[in-house]
Amino acid sequence: MKLHKVGRLHGELHVPGDKSISQRALLFAALAEGTSKITGLSEADDVQSMAACLQQLGVKIEQKNGICYVHGRGLHGLRAPAGALDCGNSGTTMRLLAGVLAGQNFDSVLIGDHSLNSRPMRRIVEPLASMGAEIETAAEGTAPLKIHGKKLRGITYALPVASAQVKSAVLLAGLFADGKTVVIEPEQSRDHTEIMMAAMGVSVTQNNSEIRLGAERLQATEIEIPGDVSAAAFFIVAGLIVPDSEIVIKNVGLNPTRSYLIDLLKQANAQIEIQNNRNANGELIGDLKVYSSSVNGFTASGAEIPLLIDEIPVLAVLATQARGRTRFRDAKELRVKESDRIEAIDINLRKLGVQLETFADGFKIVGPQELHGGLINTFQDHRIAMAFAVASLIASGETEISNAHVATVSFPDFFDKLRHLSRQEWH
């Protein structure tokens, strides 16, 4: 894909349904009793990976007039799959399914693409093993995961890293375990699992960093999925850095464990207005109005990082235009995402002529700096492809993005939406 600098961004858009909530909606509805009705489900590749795995486990999923119906099989109704379950590029699919499959009375195998097969899985295998699970990994502690279904027991587990995927894997296994399951987080991570379990009738209680779960049943329900704030982030940053822009992003999920980038940017002088606030099944939703702004440099570290982990690639692009120093520290989790995102940010920003300093756990950029077009290597990572598409909007000359189609992992019509707002034709 070849992209060029644009004059301004103007107009209104919807972003896909939240990826994390869409995947949980399908999975929890599959484990519930009765038929759940899901509106606003994302059509992203990762969500389709979750749906395909559930179908192989005997779950019937139907789409009618844009509404998704999942016929729940109850906690004990999944069927042994005929072959390996392919989680594609999706860490959430693999880690959450592992929590469920560990407690079944059948065996299963989880596989993924090249990127997913190199991501760390011991972080779920270890707590699940202490619940009584039997899971074999490759020698490096990576997928394929061979899961021998076992009777599980509840545990109290202090997470070594703030990870919603690990937290959710343990809580899901807890649904199949005897006794209580308690998870303690070092820092708060996204809480969609807790919110959705509660909406489906499970008793989940949260006390500071401690989440307790009693093994019960899930009841089918109606689920409205908000727009994905992590997808909106690309347009928020684009609207802020392209001169004379004014855009409205409708129905964005504003769960505080996800929307911290908005607070951070507003503190740094970004003009972002939140309109039409409401609540759907415990998740906050609102419209965002974004104006071009002169943003100041900022620092994010410690407990702030899990609250904006997926937005850091596009915030790195923003940092090149911010006045003064922007720093991200304590973000070494970026190294084990769909790509090593610290390296991908470093290599690609340099290709656009940006100077930056990288660390094992983050990076520092002093802005504003001028961007010049260049050839972007996405490392097959959807968020790197989209972050650098945003960078191209303000770069002189031409920016070429290899494998730009990888954006479909989380945002199938990302480039169409960008074209529409900028009224440009790209090839």
Q: Which window, 163-171, 235-243, 246-254, 347-355, contacts ligand S3P (CB under 6 A)?
A: 163-171
- 92 lines the binding site for ligand S3P (CB under 6 A): yes
93 binds ligand S3P (CB under 6 A): no
User: Of residues 36, 42, 93, 165, which one binds ligand S3P by CB under 6 A?
Assistant: 165
Tell the burial category of 66 from Cβ atoms under 10 Å away from its Cβ (0-12, 13-18, 19+). exposed
For residues 256 to 295, the per-residue mask of contacts with ligand S3P, x marking binding by CB under 6 A and - elsewhere, is: ----------------------------------------
Strand-pair category, 362-367 with 357-359: antiparallel
Which of 310, 348, 349, 409 is the binder for ligand S3P (CB under 6 A)? 310
The least CB distance from residue 296 to ligand S3P, in Å, is 26
Q: Residue 265 half-sphere exposure, CB side, CA atoms within 13 Å?
A: 31
User: Minimal CA–CA distance to 133: which of 92, 86, 170, 93?
Assistant: 170
Amino acid at 12: E
Q: Return d(Cα 338, Cα 116) in angstroms, integer.
A: 7
* Distance of closest approach, residue 424 Cβ to ligand S3P, in angstroms: 29
What DSSP character marks residue 404? G
How far, in Å, are 28, 146, 197, 286, 382 from residue 202 at the CA level?
11, 28, 5, 27, 34
Q: In terms of Cα–Cα distance, which of 354, 298, 302 is closest to 332?
A: 302
Note whether 90 binds ligand S3P by CB under 6 A.
Answer: no
Q: How many residues bind ligand S3P (CB under 6 A)?
A: 11
In the complex, least distance from residue 46 CB atom to ligand S3P, rounded to whole angstroms: 9
N-to-C CA span, the chain: 6
| In the complex, minimum distance from the CB of residue 85 to ligand S3P, in angstroms, rounded to a whole number | 17
Q: How far is the CB of 161 from ligand S3P (least distance, A)?
A: 7
Of 35-43, 159-167, 296-304, 370-378, which part binds ligand S3P (CB under 6 A)?
Answer: 159-167
Is 20 a binder of ligand S3P (CB under 6 A)?
yes
Q: What is the closest distance, in whole angstroms, from the C-beta atom of residue 410 to ligand S3P in the complex?
A: 8
Which among 67-75, 158-166, 294-302, 348-356 is the span making contact with ligand S3P, rule CB under 6 A? 158-166
Find residue 177's DSSP bridge partners. Answer: 152
**Which residue in the set 22, 89, 108, 163 belongs to the binding site for ligand S3P (CB under 6 A)?**
163
Pick between residue 94 and residue 349 the one whose CB is nearest to ligand S3P: 94
CA atoms of 427 and 424, how far apart (whole Å):
10
Which x/- pattern over 41-80 shows residues binding ligand S3P (rule: CB under 6 A)? ----------------------------------------
Q: Decide if residue 181 touches ligand S3P (CB under 6 A).
A: no
Give the integer Cα–Cα distance in Å for 5 and 399: 9
Residue type, position 208, single letter: N
For ligand S3P, which residue of 200, 309, 312, 389 counts as binding (CB under 6 A)?
A: 309
H, E, C per residue of 265-307: HHHCCCEEEEEEEEEECCEEEEEEEEECCCCECCEECHHHHHH
The CB-of-72 to ligand S3P minimum distance in angstroms stands at: 21
User: CA torsion sign, 166 to 220 to 147 to 150?
Assistant: positive
Q: What separation in angstroms does the CA of 417 have from each of 79, 232, 404, 422?
A: 40, 11, 14, 9
- Strand partners of residue 211: 183, 206
Binding to ligand S3P (CB under 6 A) within 326-355 occurs at 333
- In the list 85, 164, 175, 231, the residue contacting ligand S3P (rule: CB under 6 A) is 164
Is 383 or 417 the residue whose CB approaches ligand S3P more closely? 383
Q: Is 310 one of the catalytic residues? A: yes
> Which among 18, 46, 113, 310 is annotated as catalytic?
310
C-beta separation of 216 from 232 below 8 A: no
* Interface residues toward ligand S3P, by CB under 6 A: 20, 92, 163-165, 168, 189-190, 309-310, 333
* Residues with catalytic roles: 310
